[in-house]
């Protein structure tokens, strides 16, 4: 097992094929990080890694008491209320009302493989030799509080997964008011911070800026990971680009309110914290109880942002997403074709046309249940509307399957409409605080999934449909954040647990439904990309990336999302023009090329297309089917960024997907606005084998070596007009 204990210097060394992580047990019992970077070989003397700041006053010969100056130590999971004045990783309100904790090293043990986290999504390994786990136990002798820190290092990727578990071994209850999943103190250095920010229809745009004094806070307090921020933060040396430079990445396996903090201290070192948002959290720990934080994932790269991304992608494909090896079908969704205004006949017309074009799955979206003619009613009443589906849902599904298509269905299981039978029968089943106004967003309220009886009722209704109707795919939507986040089922001293208990309730529902219906492909959605996080990917292998399906906007959304998440997780559709979100008119070829860099599908009325447009769709579908495996499992190299910064003008976007064996590749390029009188332009490819010869098929076909394609580039065509794109297929010969 790649774990070493240097007893003389009290050093714990976790090692993968490419990365080492070294911890120090200080004489006081505090735990600190002394190294995270390229692999250090064993055996060797690592005592030189132990470095304390020299704070001696030259006029005062007295030695500095390092062990009682916690603010000068690099700590691994620091507490508050003591001599460390930087942001703490946790805070406990003790039975006496104090918030002081003195957790000190008690023991440690290592084991092969990786433990699961009951009730929480967690990374996993199919073979014990894929990973090794170190557990460090700390105890507070005065209060009886103890803490177990989990460290799992994955052998191939070097990714490190961390979490914390608190135990109340004392005789009285205490309250956790802050419990981050990970904390890390990095030595002094200049960094750029990187995070993914945006809004509905503009999710996950890259924000990169120098990290100066003070703190950068990235957070969501919406009860979901949110459209506005993503539970990801990275620190990169200022010169780091796509393929060169040191980058540290942090991602939280969680779908609720979170906080990510990067704070530079007075000495220039940086503390990173990632975990539950303390503004939205408190947890009562009764005597004998424990609390488990979600997992945080840490990735180190010295191959720039591209190396960071490929590590995250491989890790999530192989050790987070279940059912990753399933080939995803090309789908058509009726939402932008019909919205709420459809009949069974109209749906069947679209399905028959889709089958003729080679599409594989039809998805019936919102509007099939209750009396759902617009978004102001019926959520929670999961029974088909006989006005729209006179033969019933099963009859429609059977007829669609007779065309050769699979059948999929939209649900929003976490919500209830005030105008619904469910709400009239159970008005207390939504999140609310007695006597307070209930905020409606999109004419709906959030069900109180902290309550077992509410979850049982929804699971029964959804299961009844999945058992009766031949459904191959479920789109699980969630269209609003949490407000009035309280529950009448919880006592006053546990009300601030509601937000986290809600997320645990969502996970419970997802786990039970996914397990009960293993042949159903589940796709996550939250008003588009409002809950695009590793927690959802554990249950659902793909997520609807954004409600904005405009190809030009999707360049930024999909490019930035790929910083952390693999292409196999991104739902991407071709939609109609003018685009329904921004009115843009982009060529059908470009809409298809962009959508092919993800889980491909359509969302438009294909019965209204011209014969020429249908032929274009037929070609796109055939092209994607031939390269589907490559797109869903290949390595991504970003070549040109759609974001304006010191390196780019934002007018060009490029990337290439390369098979693991480098024998196949798919290169993509888009130019947003036309350039008058352009000169000769090339796109330098990446990730190929320099010694291979490839046949390149695009606007023209020719052969070239990997070395030429990467060093000299591939010539770009001359275009007339805005929003143009091109795809090149590469095959080793």
CB atoms within 10 A of CB 356: 13
- Whether 647 has a pLDDT exceeding 90, the answer reads no
At 532, is the pLDDT very low, low, confident or very high (cuts 50, 70, 90)?
Answer: very high
Claim to verify: residue 194 and residue 342 sit in the same structural domain? no
Per DSSP, the three-state class of 307 is helix
Rg (Cα) of the chain, in Å, rounded? 27
Question: Is residue 592 situated within a structural domain?
Answer: no
The residues near 131 (Cβ < 8 Å, ≥ 6 apart) are 112, 113, 114, 125, 152, 153, 154, 155, 319
- The rounded distance, in Å, linking the Cα atoms of 278 and 89 is 10
Mean pLDDT, residues 546-551 = 98
At 66, is the pLDDT very low, low, confident or very high (cuts 50, 70, 90)?
Answer: low
Claim to verify: residue 355 and residue 260 sit in the same structural domain? no
* Per-residue pLDDT tens digits for 306-323: 999 999 999 999 999 998
- Whether 68 has a pLDDT exceeding 70, the answer reads no
Mean pLDDT, residues 28-40 = 93
Count of helices and strands (H, E) across the chain: 12, 38
The residues near 7 (Cβ < 8 Å, ≥ 6 apart) are none
Q: What is the phi/psi pair of residue 702, to 5°?
A: -160, 175
Domain boundary among 319, 348, 363: 319
Per DSSP, the three-state class of 20 is strand
Residue 87 half-sphere exposure toward CB, CA atoms < 13 A: 26
Both structure tokens of 483: 């407000």
Task: Tell me the CATH number at 50.
Answer: 2.70.98.60
Question: Is residue 705 situated within a structural domain?
Answer: yes
Mean pLDDT, residues 164-193 = 96
Cα distances (angstroms) measured from residue 319 to each of 153, 161, 620, 703:
12, 11, 31, 37
- Whether 639 has a pLDDT exceeding 70, the answer reads yes
Domain boundary among 273, 298, 319: 319
Mean pLDDT, residues 207-215 = 92
Cα distances (angstroms) measured from residue 636 to each of 3, 72, 228, 311, 498:
31, 40, 25, 10, 39
Q: What is the pLDDT of residue 72?
A: 82
Q: What is the pLDDT of residue 67?
A: 58
- The rounded distance, in Å, linking the Cα atoms of 294 and 494 is 19
- Whether 63 has a pLDDT exceeding 70, the answer reads no
Which residue's structure tokens are 């507070």? 140
Per DSSP, the three-state class of 161 is strand
Question: Is residue 558 situated within a structural domain?
Answer: no
Mean pLDDT, residues 630-642 = 97
Q: What is the pLDDT of residue 101?
A: 93
Beta strand spans in 461-545 (E)? 473-476, 521-524, 542-544
DSSP state of 330: P
Average per-residue pLDDT in the chain? Answer: 95
Q: What is the pLDDT of residue 62?
A: 57
* Per-residue pLDDT tens digits for 90-144: 999 999 999 999 999 999 999 999 999 999 999 999 999 999 999 999 999 999 9
Both structure tokens of 87: 């942001």
Answer for the pair 680, 710: CB distance below 8 angstroms, yes or no. no
Q: What is the pLDDT of residue 60?
A: 53
Question: Is residue 129 situated within a structural domain?
Answer: yes
* Per-residue pLDDT tens digits for 592-609: 999 999 999 999 999 999
* Per-residue pLDDT tens digits for 237-289: 999 999 999 999 999 999 999 999 999 998 899 999 999 999 999 999 999 99
435: left (phi over 0), alpha (psi -120 to 50) or beta: left
Question: Is residue 23 situated within a structural domain?
Answer: yes
Catalytic residue flag (residue 547):
yes
- The rounded distance, in Å, linking the Cα atoms of 549 and 572 is 7
| Sign of the torsion formed by the C-alpha atoms of 294, 570, 601 and 371 | positive
Claim to verify: residue 359 and residue 483 sit in the same structural domain? yes
Mean pLDDT, residues 165-194 = 96
Question: Is residue 559 situated within a structural domain?
Answer: no
Claim to verify: residue 378 and residue 447 sit in the same structural domain? yes
* Per-residue pLDDT tens digits for 285-303: 999 999 999 999 999 999 9
The total number of structural domains that make up the chain: 3
Domain boundary among 485, 516, 544: 544
Q: Return the bridge partners of 232, or none.
A: 251
Claim to verify: residue 370 and residue 462 sit in the same structural domain? yes
The catalytic residue among 477, 533, 550, 635 is: 477
Q: What is the pLDDT of residue 679?
A: 81
Task: Tell me the CATH number at 668.
Answer: 2.60.40.1180
Name the strand (E) or helix (H) holding 513: helix 498-516
Task: Tell me the CATH number at 535.
Answer: 3.20.20.70
Mean pLDDT, residues 507-519 = 98
Strand duo 174-186 + 724-732: pairing: unpaired
Domain that holds residue 515: 331-544
Claim to verify: residue 296 and residue 255 sit in the same structural domain? yes
Claim to verify: residue 443 and residue 534 sit in the same structural domain? yes
Claim to verify: residue 266 and residue 365 sit in the same structural domain? no
The catalytic residue among 140, 366, 533, 547 is: 547
Claim to verify: residue 271 and residue 152 sit in the same structural domain? yes
Claim to verify: residue 134 and residue 254 sit in the same structural domain? yes
At 52, is the pLDDT very low, low, confident or very high (cuts 50, 70, 90)?
Answer: low
Mean pLDDT, residues 675-681 = 86
Claim to verify: residue 341 and residue 315 sit in the same structural domain? no
Mean pLDDT, residues 166-183 = 97
At 645, is the pLDDT very low, low, confident or very high (cuts 50, 70, 90)?
Answer: confident
* Per-residue pLDDT tens digits for 683-732: 999 999 999 999 999 988 899 999 999 999 999 988 889 999 999 999 99
Q: What is the phi/psi pair of residue 383, to 5°?
A: -135, 135
Cα distances (angstroms) measured from residue 211 to each of 261, 421, 558:
11, 52, 25
Name the strand (E) or helix (H) holding 653: strand 652-658
Q: What is the pLDDT of residue 3?
A: 81
Question: Is residue 282 situated within a structural domain?
Answer: yes
- Whether 58 has a pLDDT exceeding 60, the answer reads no
- Whether 61 has a pLDDT exceeding 70, the answer reads no
Claim to verify: residue 198 and residue 285 sit in the same structural domain? yes
Q: What is the pLDDT of residue 677?
A: 86
Catalytic residue flag (residue 649):
no
Distance from the Cα of residue 281 to its chain's centroid: 21
Q: What is the phi/psi pair of residue 487, to 5°?
A: -140, 130
Q: What is the pLDDT of residue 82?
A: 85
Question: Is residue 279 situated within a structural domain?
Answer: yes
The larger pLDDT score, comparing residue 65 to residue 714, is at 714
Mean pLDDT, residues 418-442 = 97
Q: What is the pLDDT of residue 81?
A: 80
Per DSSP, the three-state class of 464 is helix
Q: What is the pLDDT of residue 71?
A: 80
């Amino acid at each position: 097992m790649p774990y070493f204990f240097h007893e003389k210097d009290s050093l714990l060394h976790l090692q993968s094929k490419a990365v080492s992580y070294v911890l120090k047990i200080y004489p006081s019992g505090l735990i600190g990080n002394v190294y995270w970077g390229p692999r250090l070989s064993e055996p060797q003397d690592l005592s030189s890694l132990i470095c304390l700041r020299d704070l001696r006053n030259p006029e005062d010969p007295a030695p500095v008491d390092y062990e009682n100056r916690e603010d000068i130590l690099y700590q691994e999971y620091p507490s508050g209320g003591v001599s460390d004045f930087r942001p703490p990783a946790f805070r406990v309100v003790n039975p006496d009302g104090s918030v002081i904790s003195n957790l000190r090293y008690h023991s440690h043990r290592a084991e092969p493989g990786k433990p699961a986290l009951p009730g929480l999504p967690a990374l996993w390994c199919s073979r014990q030799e894929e990973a090794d786990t170190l557990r460090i136990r700390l105890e507070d002798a005065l209060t009886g509080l103890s803490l177990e820190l989990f460290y799992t290092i994955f052998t191939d990727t070097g990714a490190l997964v961390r979490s914390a578990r608190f135990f109340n071994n004392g005789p009285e209850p205490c309250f956790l008011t802050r419990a981050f999943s990970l904390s890390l103190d990095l030595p002094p250095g200049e960094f750029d911070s990187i995070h993914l920010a945006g809004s509905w229809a503009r999710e996950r745009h890259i924000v990169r800026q120098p990290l100066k004094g003070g703190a950068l806070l990235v957070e969501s307090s919406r009860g979901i990971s949110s459209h506005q921020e993503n539970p990801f933060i990275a620190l990169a040396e200022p010169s780091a680009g796509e393929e060169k430079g040191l980058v540290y990445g942090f991602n939280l396996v969680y779908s609720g309110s979170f906080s990510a903090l990067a704070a530079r201290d007075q000495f220039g070192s940086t503390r990173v914290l990632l975990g539950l948002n303390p503004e939205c959290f408190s947890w009562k720990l009764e005597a004998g109880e424990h609390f488990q934080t979600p997992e945080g994932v840490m990735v180190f790269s010295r191959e720039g942002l591209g190396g960071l991304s490929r590590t995250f992608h491989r890790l999530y494909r192989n050790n987070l997403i279940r059912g990753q090896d399933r080939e995803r079908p090309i789908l058509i969704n009726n939402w932008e074709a019909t919205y709420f205004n459809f009949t069974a006949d109209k749906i069947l017309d679209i399905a028959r046309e889709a089958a003729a074009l080679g599409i594989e799955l039809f998805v019936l979206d919102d509007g099939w249940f209750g009396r759902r003619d617009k978004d102001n009613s019926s959520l929670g009443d999961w029974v088909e509307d006989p006005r729209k589906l006179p033969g019933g849902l099963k009859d429609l599904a059977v007829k669609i399957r007779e065309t050769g298509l699979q059948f999929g269905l939209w649900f929003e299981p976490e919500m209830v409409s005030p105008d619904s039978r469910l709400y009239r029968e159970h008005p207390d089943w939504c999140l609310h605080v007695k006597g307070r106004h209930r905020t409606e967003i999109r004419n709906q309220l959030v069900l109180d999934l902290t309550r077992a009886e509410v979850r049982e009722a929804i699971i029964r209704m959804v299961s009844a449909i999945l058992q009766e109707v031949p459904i191959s795919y479920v789109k699980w939507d969630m269209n609003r954040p949490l407000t009035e986040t309280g529950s009448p089922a919880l006592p006053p001293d546990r009300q601030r647990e509601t937000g986290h208990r809600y997320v645990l309730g969502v996970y419970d529902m997802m786990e039970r439904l996914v397990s009960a219906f293993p042949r159903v492909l589940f796709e996550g959605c939250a008003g588009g990309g409002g809950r695009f996080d590793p927690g959802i990917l554990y249950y659902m292998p793909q997520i609807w990336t954004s409600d904005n399906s405009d190809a030009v906007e999707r360049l930024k959304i999909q490019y930035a999302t790929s910083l952390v998440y693999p292409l196999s997780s991104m739902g991407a559709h071709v939609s109609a023009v003018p685009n329904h979100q921004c009115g843009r008119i982009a060529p059908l070829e470009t809409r298809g090329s962009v959508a092919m860099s993800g889980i491909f599908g359509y969302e438009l009325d294909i019965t209204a297309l011209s014969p020429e447009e249908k032929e274009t769709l037929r070609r796109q579908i055939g092209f994607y089917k031939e390269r589907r495996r490559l797109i869903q499992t290949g390595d991504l190299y970003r070549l040109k960024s759609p974001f304006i910064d010191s390196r780019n003008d934002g007018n060009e976007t490029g990337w290439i997907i390369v098979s693991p064996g480098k024998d196949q590749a798919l290169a993509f390029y888009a130019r947003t606005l036309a350039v008058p009188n352009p000169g000769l332009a090339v796109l330098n490819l990446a990730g190929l084998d320099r010694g291979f010869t490839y046949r390149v098929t695009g606007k023209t076909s020719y052969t070239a070596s990997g070395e030429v394609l990467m060093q000299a580039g591939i010539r770009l065509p001359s275009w007339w007009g805005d929003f143009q794109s091109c795809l090149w297929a590469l095959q080793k010969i």
